[in-house]
Amino acid sequence: MKSLLMLVLVTSVTVTAQNQRFPDCTSGNLAGNAVCNTSLPPSERAAALVAAMTAEEKLQNLVSKANGASRLGLPAYNWWSEALHGVAYAPGTQFRNVPGPFNSSTSFPMPVLMAAAFDDELIEKVGNVIGIEGRAFGNEGWSGIDYWTPNVNPYKDPRWGRGSETPGEDVLRIKRYAKFMIRGLEGPEEQRRIVATCKHFAANDFEDWNGANRHNFNAKITLQDLAEYYMMPFQQCARDSKVGSIMCAYNAVNGVPSCANKYLMDTILRGHWNWTEHNNYITSDCEAVLDVSANHHYARTNAEGTALCFDAGMDISCEYSGSSDIPGAWSQGLLKQATVDRALRRLYEGLVRAGYFDGAKSTHALLGWGDVNNHEAQQVALQAAVEGIVLLKNDGTLPLDLKQSSKVAMVGFWADAPEKLSGGYSGAPYFLHTPVYAARQMGLDVKVATGPILQEATGGSSPWLASALAAARDSDYILYFGGLDTSSAGETKDRQALDWPTAQLDLLNSLGSLGKPLVLVHMGDMMDDTPVLDMEGVSSILWANWPGQDGGTAVMQLISGQKSPSGRLPVTQYPANYTTIIPMTDMALRPSSKSPGRTYRWYPTPIKPFGFGLHYTTFTATILPSFATHFTTGNLVADCKNTYLDTCEFPALPVQVTNAGNRTSDYVVLAYLSGKYGPEPYPLKTLSSYSRLRNVTPGETVTISLEWTLGDVARHDENGNTVLYPGVYTVIIDEPSLTTMTFTIEGDAIMLDKWPAPPV
């Protein structure tokens, strides 16, 4: 736990939160309502509550800051809480602003760095911690129990300011991240621990570019790209994981605003994916309802736009202030009673299923402050940072042979800046351990000097140059912490360039000229690392993104060799000129006369490819000959009894991995498929399975069976259908390749999933 003192506080201090409170089913008018009857099905309990409301009460509960119904004993409730990488600040979440319970939460690395671990077990552990802490906050009134996370939009353009919120660019990686994060957040019990929300549905992946912004953008997408890429993470959320909630996005898709898009929300989400089992709800993104009329001009008035959204399947309007026109839509007869009741039943059934009305009978009622940022949670946060950090360059300098007498210069604006560790959508961490803090904990003789952030002037007059060089000259090793500051991108703001700031490159050149081991820790978002990869004075490069509350400890454990790097890039590293070649608003994935292609599947010349990551040791891999080399489409589907054929198992791939070096290390086995099969005119390389091996010792050989499905082997045709094609398939292990093999699938192409056609 945090400390003995704070453990004592939890037993001696009564915390009164002003933000949220659970309904009291033991007294008042609510006690006699069937919503409090735990013997009834959740759908009946929710329906009984809605039936007891007046029309005015119903309308006041269709927005994120819901008024409740004091007449019934139903308290006000704010549906908007956040937990992207830990319980975070939000209108529905408060943190105690003095020492004591609920003044902090565990802060994990940003999702893109956690995704770089390619560790499903880890992601479920992270989700479990966040879900437990989120429910503890809710139990004590500091938040709701609905959390609008995770963000599962694919990160296809490196300029996107919110890309670090996502699990990267690859559909399989995003789907498995979503699967295990949701399982952790909502918990394994029938009663949800919290209600998770997948966002932003759909094709929401830029903020503001050349006059187009997320509030007015119309994403023009082919059915093939829509089904194959932009929608697949939400298929996992809705069809396969049955997530409690989904958020519709600001942008339009093929001319129809997402929150008024009946094709997306009704035909596909609730219909084709059967996301109706538990009356799960859809929230708008915040102010997105107003966008329907004001920015997309899809409706003449806000009242009309509001009614269109609810009719299409949205259930609640997220608002900073009254940005929808629910009263106007109602008074004009545009918003029907049946639509209002349907939305409220979905909303309150979600709360019923999370035990909101059950009081002490709730499965999760006993979760409290002692479950927030305890020792186990802190260890998971540290593990996530260690596993996610990626080694991009190493001339043998790393790991450093550090001793307590070692003198280390720690240079750069990120070296000792706690506020730079967390990234966006953060809460209040109990601690933030910077690299400088961690180095001092190790007993190192640390010399600290700041550095330029963006493009400050270089030269002898610069305020940071003299101190940086002085610290470096008086040290055995130089660690430089740089990259782009968090203020250069984020929500509402995209990056304009992928270049390293010139001032930082100049400083690195000056430091490199001293002839001492120089390790660059690249923080923040991915950039074009060409100049630092080519710079002779830079010995090694680690990409650490925003590594969370113990990020400094993780960095120093890797640099010192206490841990071995094993992270893999979850995104492509593009050249700087990529930003001049393709507009952010171009949603097409495949290369054309106008586009070089997007993501590792279609862009052929990266600086560093998706899946790249170095180790302190050497691994070899072999695909065992026990794997069959001939299959037929008919036999592959013949024995499958699954409702969805794309979820049927493909024969597991046996891979033997040997640590041929002299250091113990984790190893991520990546299995790609490539070949000219299906509708593509060229071979595609597609990640089809992966798994993390832990603590492979020198000389040890480990055999693993990589699991995959027919859907992982299939491709999508031009109409969006998922098809298992005959052809010659090449399996590639690792990036760069360690080994390959081929197998053949014969027979007729078989449609595994028929994509619904949009309305004409």
Point out the least confidently predicted range of 67-71, 478-482, 630-634, 681-685: 681-685
Gap between the Cα atoms of 248 and 268, Å rounded: 13
User: Would you say residue 455 lies in a domain?
Assistant: yes
Strand segments, DSSP code E, in 524-604 are 540-545
Q: What is the pLDDT of residues 590-599, one digit of tens each?
A: 999 999 999 9
| Statement to judge: residues 572 and 664 lie in one domain | no
**26: pLDDT strictly greater than 60:** yes
Q: Are residues 577 and 707 in the same domain?
A: no
Among 581, 604, 588, 610, CA closest to 682 = 604
Indicate the burial class of 348 (C-beta count within 10 angstroms; 0-12, 13-18, 19 or more).
buried
249: its two tokens: 């996005």
Q: Which token pair is 88?
A: 């975070």
Q: Which tokens go with 601?
A: 């599947």
Residue among 547, 539, 583 nearest 563 (CA): 547
* pLDDT value at 6 more than 80: no
Q: Which domain holds residue 673?
A: 619-753
Domain membership flag for residue 343: no
Are residue 424 and residue 553 in the same domain, yes or no? yes
CA distance linking residue 620 with residue 552, whole number of Å: 31
How far from chain centre, in Å, is Cα 85?
8
CB 90 within 8 A of CB 82: yes
Same domain, 535 and 640: no
Q: Do 673 and 563 share a structural domain? A: no
User: Token pair 């919290």 is at which residue?
Assistant: 194
Query: Do 447 and 573 share a domain, yes or no?
Result: yes
**Residue 52 resides in a domain:** no
322 pLDDT band, cuts 50/70/90, is confident
Would you say the C-alpha torsion 560, 564, 569, 573 has a positive or negative sign? positive
SS3 label, residue 740: strand
- Backbone dihedral angles phi then psi of residue 613, each to the nearest 5 degrees: 180, 130
Alpha-carbon distance of 563 to 117, in angstroms, equals 14
Residue 686 belongs to some domain of the structure = yes
Considering the domain architecture, whether residues 574 and 486 belong to the same structural domain is answered as yes
What 3-state class would DSSP assign to 377?
Answer: helix
Q: Which two tokens stand for residue 125?
A: 């552990």
What Rg, from alpha-carbon coordinates, does the chain have? Answer: 26
In a domain, residue 436? The reply is yes
Three-class DSSP category at 741 = strand
The pLDDT value recorded for residue 639 is 86
Mean pLDDT of 267-289: 94
Tokens 């050989």 sit on residue: 701
Could you give the CA distance from residue 619 to residue 420 in angstroms, rounded to a whole number?
34
- Which stretches of 504-539 are assigned E, i.e. beta strand? 518-523
Using the predicted structure, report yes or no on whether residue 232 has a pLDDT greater than 60: yes
CA angle 422, 425, 427 (to 5 degrees): 70
At CA 608, angle to CA 603 and CA 610, rounded to 5?
65
pLDDT band at 487 (very low <50, low <70, confident <90, very high): low
**For residue 515, which of 402, 392, 397 has the smallest C-alpha distance?**
397
Same domain, 553 and 654: no
Segment 676-698 shows an average pLDDT of 93
Q: What is the CATH number of the domain that holds 568?
A: 3.40.50.1700
Chain segment 564-621, per-residue pLDDT in tens? 999 999 999 999 999 999 999 999 999 999 999 999 999 999 999 999 999 999 999 9
pLDDT at 278 over 80: no
Q: Can you tell me the distance from the alpha carbon of 612 to that of 390, in angstroms, rounded to the nearest whole number?
A: 8
Q: Are residues 569 and 423 in the same domain?
A: yes
Do 553 and 677 reside in the same domain of the chain?
Answer: no
Domain-terminating residue out of 523, 552, 581: 581
Strands (E), 472-568: 477-483, 518-523, 540-545
Res 302 pLDDT > 60: yes
Residue 472 structure tokens: 């470096």
pLDDT at position 722, please?
98
Q: Angle formed by the axes of helices 337-353 and 42-52, to 10°?
A: 130
pLDDT of 361 higher than 70? yes
- pLDDT for 453 equals 76
- At 488, the pLDDT band (50, 70, 90 cuts) reads low
Mean pLDDT throughout 308-333?
96
98 belongs to a structural domain: no
The CATH number of the domain holding residue 695 is 2.60.40.10
Count Cβ atoms within 10 A of the Cβ of residue 580 and give its class: 0-12 exposed, 13-18 middle, 19 or more buried. exposed
Residue 47: partners with Cβ closer than 8 Å, 6 or more residues away: 345
Identify whether the C-beta of residue 165 lies closer than 8 Å to the C-beta of residue 211.
Answer: no
pLDDT in tens, 722-753: 999 999 999 999 999 999 999 999 999 999 99
Residue 499 has pLDDT above 60, yes or no: yes
Residue 13 has pLDDT above 60, yes or no: no
pLDDT of residue 17: 52
Residue 264, domain member (yes or no) = no
pLDDT digits (tens, 9 = 90+) for 85-140: 999 999 999 999 998 899 999 999 999 999 999 999 999 999 999 999 999 999 99
Asked which of 530, 557, 581 is the last residue of a domain, the reply is 581
Do the Cβ atoms of 99 and 422 come closer than 8 Å? no
Percent of the chain past pLDDT 90, that is, above it, reads: 90
Residue 2: its pLDDT value, please? 34
* Count of structural domains within the chain: 2
> Span 532-556, mean pLDDT?
98
Alpha-carbon distance of 144 to 136, in angstroms, equals 10
Rounded to 5°, angle at Cα 165 from 159 and 170: 75
Instruction: Please tell me the distance from the alpha carbon of residue 608 to that of residue 393, in angstroms, as a whole number.
Output: 10
Lookup result for tokens 């008919």: 634
Joined together, the tokens standing for residue 687 give 């990640």
Strands 649-659 and 619-623 come out as antiparallel
Lowest mean pLDDT segment, chosen from 25-34, 76-85, 108-117, 709-718? 25-34
Is residue 5 predicted with pLDDT exceeding 90?
A: no
- Active site amino acids: 285
Rounded-to-integer distance, Cα 651 and Cα 299, Å: 51
Instruction: Among 529, 551, 581, give the residue marking a domain's end.
Output: 581
Mean pLDDT computed over 150-155: 98
First to last CA, the chain: 59
**Count of CB atoms situated within 10 Å of the CB of 59:** 19
In a domain, 221, yes or no: no
| Cross-strand bridge partners of residue 568 | none
Q: Indicate whether 631 and 737 sit together in one domain.
A: yes
d(CA 116, CA 136) in angstroms, rounded, equals: 29
| 516 & 627 share domain | no
Q: What is the mean pLDDT of the chain?
A: 94
User: Residue holding tokens 């830990």?
Assistant: 86
Distance of alpha carbon 188 from alpha carbon 126, whole angstroms: 14
**Cα separations (Å) of 546 from 359, 387, 440, 484, 604?**
38, 13, 21, 11, 28
